[in-house]
Amino acid sequence: MNGIQKFIIGKPLDTGAVVKNIDATVFSGGNIGELYVEPDKKTITYKMSEETVVYGLGETLRGINKRGWLYVSNNSDEPHHEEGKHSLYASQNFLLVDNGDGACFGLYIDHPGEVRFDIGYTKSDVLTVSAEDFDFSLYRIDGETPLEIVKNFRTLVGKSYEAPLWAYGYGQSRWGYKDASDIRDVRDNYRKLGIPLDMIYMDIDYMQDFKDFTVNPERFPDFEAFVREMKEDGIRLIPIIDAGVKIEKGYDVYEEGIKNDFFCKKEDGTPLVAAVWPGKVHFPDFLNPAARKWFGDKYKVLTDMGIEGFWNDMNEPAIFYTEDHLKEVFGELDNLKDKELDIWGFFGFKGLLNSIDNNPEDYRRFFHEFNGVKVRHDKVHNLYGFYMTRAAGEAFERNNPDKKILLFSRASFMGMHRYGGVWTGDNMSWWSHLLLNIKQMPSLNMTGFIFSGADTGGFGCDTTEDLMMRWLEFSIFTPLFRNHSALGTREQELYRFGHAEDFKNIIELRYALIPYIYGECTKAIEENGMYFKPLSFEYRYDERAREIEDQLLAGDSIMIAPVYEQNKTGRYVYLPEDMKLVRFRSFSDYDTEVLTKGDHYIKAPLNEVLVFVRKGKKLTLTEPASCVDKLDVNKVASVIEF
């Protein structure tokens, strides 16, 4: 069987994730193949065999094989990406079950609110999908192989976003570049060392008082001229846009939002007052098409000044506090004030303070106008970041149909992959998060988020030179390639470290690979396929390959096996077939060695990048340049064939 079946359970909301019309069966419970749907228990169950591998779910914690954990779709501003967590910023409710005996199928739960995927967590051999609101469309996707199922699934949800070619360049970012001179410094230091660079990202500090679509005139006296100046140097500025709109008399975005009734409202009809970076804000109702159009058109303020890319942040939405909840907390604190706190009283007190940000109760305080109906936010919570990014993406298509604009988001949902990519949010400068990055990429690819990547070097905590180098050695293969870090952490621009020459070699190798990476990503987009694949997708009946999660296929020609532990000068690599190892010291200085199928211990000094060329394939390297616009694909540096 090779099709897609659609089952309507309860009264689903139309999330906008699916673009293909499919005849549906109204389903009141029972079996769908080996899936057992019980609406009264609000569960779908499936009995896993010992061999069953479960893939999917896009951006999550833990492994490529999802077995053995509870994953909860509940988009969260979660800066602690630890293995005990259940939710990150994204909800991509697609599962792919592979039984190893040839039988495999996909499952997509088109639900805009919380869904729980208990994949052998409660009972090690049972997969249970549950949702409090048991109203959704369920899609069962069949196919001969996992990759075929992925491709079928993606015809359902539509073609992935295509980033401009220059966006495959290297980007430097940091929360804390506060003015034009900070940014010129970054450019000058990169150019001085001859390390290629295409983008400098602008975090919230460029704005006037953190107001969307404003630029602080003291910090950037002539912004348009500055954008031009940078572009003449081959560097594009990529500003951040936050979800919350500052409440301030006279601020056009605020005034227009109020006048046109575009903000999310509470039960009593007044707009919700929350607080994020700008102080008190309202949240635009991106789910309302008129509000979406209005907000999307605002990006024009910046594109008119020459800006060609954006990153959308805080769109889970993150909430520092709401006015109402803060009042309640102060009220309760008042009650406690003069009382003696026993130990439980003390924990209650602490809990009150810890409940202030991203409080679940706050997500029940406001409403959207969704498909003409008033819907409480928590019911459609996971759509918010998707619809913010959709606002921008639709506006770009409307206003600039011939131009590709860089766009990616922190929060996401299936369907958003048509409008932009994602970065995986606030990771840490930890070796374990380099490994997490490796494992996240193929799952994001299954769900169509091809143009994606993580904060290279780690966002929170202090990085080290060796971590940065090893991380780059992996992320030169990720489509979105950005070094980003948090305010207050150790500075991690590549010129801050001692071995500039090594960093230069690694970044130049990226540029030499851009035609390959871009070509393979474009193919993945056109064919609804994947750029990053787990080994098991190509070597399906190889038992060893099925379990490998720290080696990936990147495009059709190569396998990569990054080093992700500190103080290691090599690692074990499993080859599912004979391959040609290429050890790059730079794009032009490398040696090759043919290795046979099986296990190998591979030496990998800190400054070397390992690439394995597959049998019958070739890898073409282009002469690198200081930025993508200066790359000439006809200047082939070398062709490595096996």
- The answer to whether 204 contacts ligand MIG (rule: CB under 6 A) is yes
Shortest reach from residue 421's CB to ligand MIG, in Å: 14
Distance CA 2, CA 30 (A): 22
Q: What is the closest distance, in whole angstroms, from the C-beta atom of residue 426 to ligand MIG in the complex?
A: 5
Q: How far is the CB of 213 from ligand MIG (least distance, A)?
A: 15
Q: Of 116 and 410, which has the nearer Cβ to ligand MIG?
A: 410
Contact 119, 35 (CB under 8 A): no
Chain length of the chain: 642
Cβ distance to ligand MIG smaller for residue 117 or 213: 213
* From 198, 426, 493, 550, residue interacting with ligand MIG (rule: CB under 6 A): 426
Q: Please, are residues 267 and 274 in contact by the beta-carbon 8 Å criterion?
A: no
Closer residue to ligand MIG (CB): 65 or 75: 75
Q: How far is the CB of 21 from ligand MIG (least distance, A)?
A: 36
Strand ranges in 99-235 using DSSP code E only, listed in sequence order? 104-110, 115-119, 126-130, 136-142, 171-172, 199-202
Rounded Cα distance between 548 and 535, Å, is 7
Q: Angle at CA 327, nearest 5°, toward 321 and 333?
A: 105
Euclidean distance between CA atoms 398 and 393, whole angstroms: 9
- Tokens representing 563 are 């080093």
Neighbouring-strand partners of residue 483:
172, 456
User: Min. distance of Cβ 314 from ligand MIG in angstroms?
Assistant: 6
Q: Which is nearer to ligand MIG, 146 or 425 (CB)?
A: 425
Tokens 């930025």 sit at which residue? 627
- Close Cβ partners of 407 (under 8 Å, ≥ 6 residues apart): 161, 163, 309, 310, 311, 312, 389, 392, 393, 396, 419, 420, 421
> Least distance (Å) from ligand MIG to the CB of residue 201?
9
Q: Which is nearer to ligand MIG, 317 or 393 (CB)?
A: 317
Of positions 16, 257, 425, 457, contacts ligand MIG by CB under 6 A: 425
Candidates 27, 175, 430, 495; binder of ligand MIG (CB under 6 A) is 175
Binding to ligand MIG (CB under 6 A): which residues in 352-391? none
CB nearer to ligand MIG: give 425 or 534: 425
Per CB under 6 A, contacts with ligand MIG among 314-333 are 314
| Distance (Å, whole) CA 136 – CA 94 | 13
> How open is the CA angle 165-166-169, to the nearest 5 degrees?
115
By CB under 6 A, tell whether 59 contacts ligand MIG. Answer: no
Residues between 397 and 416 with contacts to ligand MIG, criterion CB under 6 A:
410
Question: Would you say 149 or 411 has its CB closer to ligand MIG?
Answer: 411
DSSP character at residue 486: -
Nearer to ligand MIG, 426 or 508 (CB): 426
CA distance 87 to 316: 12
Q: Print the binding letters for residues 233-252 with ligand MIG: x by CB under 6 A, - otherwise.
A: -------x------------
What whole-number distance in Å separates Cα of residue 29 and Cα of residue 40?
9
Closest-CA residue to 248 (of 257, 240, 239): 257
- 112-123 as b/e: b if 16+ CB within 10 A: bbbbbbbbbbee
Nearest residue (CB) to ligand MIG, 204 versus 406: 204
Q: Give least dist CB 321 to ligand MIG, A.
A: 13
| Segment 480 to 519, residues that bind ligand MIG, using CB under 6 A | 484
Q: Which residue is nearest to ligand MIG (CB)?
A: 175
Residue type, 475: S
Q: How far is the CB of 378 from ligand MIG (least distance, A)?
A: 21
Number of residues that bind ligand MIG (CB under 6 A): 10
Least distance from ligand MIG to the Cβ atom of residue 480, Å: 13
212 binds ligand MIG (CB under 6 A): no
> What's the token pair of residue 546?
């099925």
Interface pick for ligand MIG out of 59, 313, 369, 608 (rule CB under 6 A): 313
Q: Using the 8-state DSSP alphabet, how is residue 272 labeled? A: P
Six-digit token string for 146: 């996992």
Query: Hey, which residues between 467 and 486 contact ligand MIG (CB under 6 A)?
Result: 484
Q: By the 8 A CB rule, do 113 and 378 touch? A: yes
Q: How far is the CB of 627 from ligand MIG (least distance, A)?
A: 23
* Least separation in angstroms between CB 420 and ligand MIG: 15
For 59-135, where are the E strands, in sequence order?
A: 69-73, 90-91, 94-98, 104-110, 115-119, 126-130
Question: Judged by CB under 6 A, which of 59, 98, 110, 203 binds ligand MIG?
Answer: 203
Comparing CB distances to ligand MIG, the nearer of 254 and 423 is 423
Q: Give the residue with the Cβ less far from ligand MIG, 175 or 495.
A: 175
Whether the bond between 317 and the residue before it is cis, its omega within 30 degrees of 0, is yes
Q: Give 30 or 79: the residue with its C-beta nearer to ligand MIG.
A: 79
What is the closest distance, in whole angstroms, from the C-beta atom of residue 318 to ligand MIG in the complex? 6
Query: Coil, strand, or helix at residue 603?
Result: strand
Positions touching ligand MIG (CB under 6 A) are: 175, 203-204, 240, 313-314, 410, 425-426, 484
